[in-house]
């Protein structure tokens, strides 16, 4: 009995200590302060956390229900801030905020690194042929387009032709830049073979970078530039989301 009486307060104190590390929960708000670089950095680490890819269907339902209970004021006693923040992180990582439908795993922001890394490796492969250059540039732009579409503003549907035009423009531009630079490098007689090979390794960067700058002000992801580079535009939960969606997420409840 003495051991039990001693263990209970210790366990309760440990739980309270663990909960005190988390800030007070605010529904729909970022967990970390967005007024500092470190806070924004931790916010983005939360968004791209690949561990949310392995959340089970049961855990997702529990997280959604927990947030509903909090919203309706029926939260059971003993739920900590840490549990609420974790539930919100899971829901935001998996479900589209407008449709409440599950986002296909490769197109979630938490899947951007594990599914995007192989594409980056393919873009940087040495001694690429014309066909492989076109393939990897096409695959990269297709993945970006799917991520943008999966996280689009679903409250105001846009015509499919708008997305198709943006997608085709991105693919054609990326392929043209990559192929054109490769041809120019190969025809440059002043470069040694080693220098030519080194320069060719960096050809994908201007092709991808140019398209990112071109797409940022466009319809597919107009808030990418403002949310990524302007602290006043934070918090933006989705770097590839539409500007209207960012504006909605910034509104106070």
Residues 132 and 190 in one domain: yes
| Residue 107 confidence (pLDDT) above 90 | yes
Share of the chain above pLDDT 70, in %: 69
Looking at 179, 194, 209, the residue that finishes a domain is 194
Q: Residue 24: pLDDT above 70?
A: yes
Indicate whether 137 and 169 sit together in one domain.
Answer: yes
Structural domain contains residue 125: yes
Which pLDDT tens digit goes with each residue over 139-154? 999 999 999 889 888 8
pTM, two decimal places: 0.68
Task: State the pLDDT confidence band at 114, using cuts at 50, 70 and 90.
Answer: very high
In this prediction, residue 180 carries a pLDDT of 85
Average pLDDT over residues 218-246: 39
pLDDT of 19: 44
Phi-psi region of 78 (alpha: psi -120 to 50; beta: other; left: phi over 0): left
Q: Is residue 140 part of a domain?
A: yes
Q: What is the mean pLDDT of residues 200-220?
A: 54
Average pLDDT of span 56-68: 96
Instruction: Give the pLDDT confidence score for residue 146 in this predicted structure.
Output: 92
- For residue 87, what are the domain limits? 37-94
pLDDT band at 178 (very low <50, low <70, confident <90, very high): confident
Same domain? 173 vs 129 = yes
Q: What share of the chain is helix, strand, coil (3-state, %, to 5)?
A: 70, 0, 30
pLDDT score of 179: 84
What b-and-e string marks burial along 60-89, b requiring 16 or more CB atoms within 10 Å of the CB? beebbebbeebeeeebeeeebbbbbbbbbb
- Residue 5 in this model has a pLDDT that exceeds 60: no
More confident residue, 45 or 241: 45
Residue that is last in its domain, among 59, 94, 129: 94
DSSP letter for each residue of 141-173: HHHHHHHHHHTS-TTS---HHHHHHHHHHHHHH
Buried-state track 192-219, b at ≥16 Cβ within 10 A, e below 16: eeeeeeebbeebbeebbeebeeebbeee
Q: Does residue 128 lie in a domain region? A: yes
Number of domains in the chain: 2
Asked if 243 and 230 count as a contact pair (C-beta separation under 8 A), the reply is no
Secondary element (H or E) of residue 71: helix 57-72
Report the pLDDT value the prediction gives residue 154, as an integer from 0 to 100: 82
Whether residue 108 is found in the same domain as residue 186: yes
Which region among 33-42, 81-90, 187-196 has the lowest average model confidence (pLDDT)? 187-196
The pLDDT of residue 236 is above 50? no
Phi, psi of 223 (to 5 degrees): -95, 0
pLDDT-wise least confident of 32-46, 102-116, 177-191 = 177-191
Q: Is residue 151 part of a domain?
A: yes
Last residue of a domain, one of 177, 194, 211: 194
Q: Note whether 112 and 164 are same-domain residues.
A: yes
Q: Is residue 77 domain-shared with residue 108, that is, in the same domain? A: no
| Average pLDDT estimate for 7-24 | 50
For residues 78 and 153, state if they share a domain: no
Q: Which residue has the higher pLDDT, 205 or 155?
A: 155
pLDDT of residue 233: 37
User: What mean pLDDT is reported for the chain?
Assistant: 76
Q: Are residues 180 and 160 in the same domain?
A: yes
User: Among 135, 168, 215, 240, which Cα is nearest to 160's?
Assistant: 168
Report the DSSP beta bridge partners of residue 102. 95
| Residue 203 banded pLDDT, cuts 50, 70, 90 | low
């Amino acid at each position: 009995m003495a051991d039990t009486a001693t263990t209970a307060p210790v366990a309760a104190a440990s739980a309270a200590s663990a909960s005190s590390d988390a800030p007070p929960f605010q529904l729909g708000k970022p967990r970390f302060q967005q007024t500092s670089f470190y806070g924004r950095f931790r916010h983005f680490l939360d968004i791209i956390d690949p561990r949310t890819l392995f959340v089970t269907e049961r855990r997702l339902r529990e997280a959604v229900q927990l947030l509903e209970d909090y919203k309706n004021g029926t939260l059971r006693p003993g739920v900590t801030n840490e549990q609420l923040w974790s539930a919100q992180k899971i829901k935001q990582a998996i479900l589209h905020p407008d449709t409440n439908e599950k986002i296909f795993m490769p197109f979630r922001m938490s899947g951007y690194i594990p599914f995007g890394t192989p594409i980056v490796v393919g873009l940087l492969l040495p001694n690429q042929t014309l066909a492989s250059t076109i393939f990897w540039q096409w695959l990269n732009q297709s993945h970006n387009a799917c991520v943008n579409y999966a996280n689009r503003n679903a409250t105001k549907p846009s015509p499919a032709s708008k997305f198709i035009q943006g997608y085709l423009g991105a693919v054609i531009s990326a392929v043209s830049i990559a192929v054109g630079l490769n041809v120019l490098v190969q025809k440059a007689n002043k470069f040694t073979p080693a220098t030519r090979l080194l320069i060719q390794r960096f050809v994908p960067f201007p092709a991808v970078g140019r398209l990112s700058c071109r797409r940022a002000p466009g319809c597919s992801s107009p808030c990418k530039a403002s949310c990524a580079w302007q602290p006043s535009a934070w918090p933006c939960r989705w770097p590839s989301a539409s500007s209207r969606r960012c504006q909605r997420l910034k509104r106070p409840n």
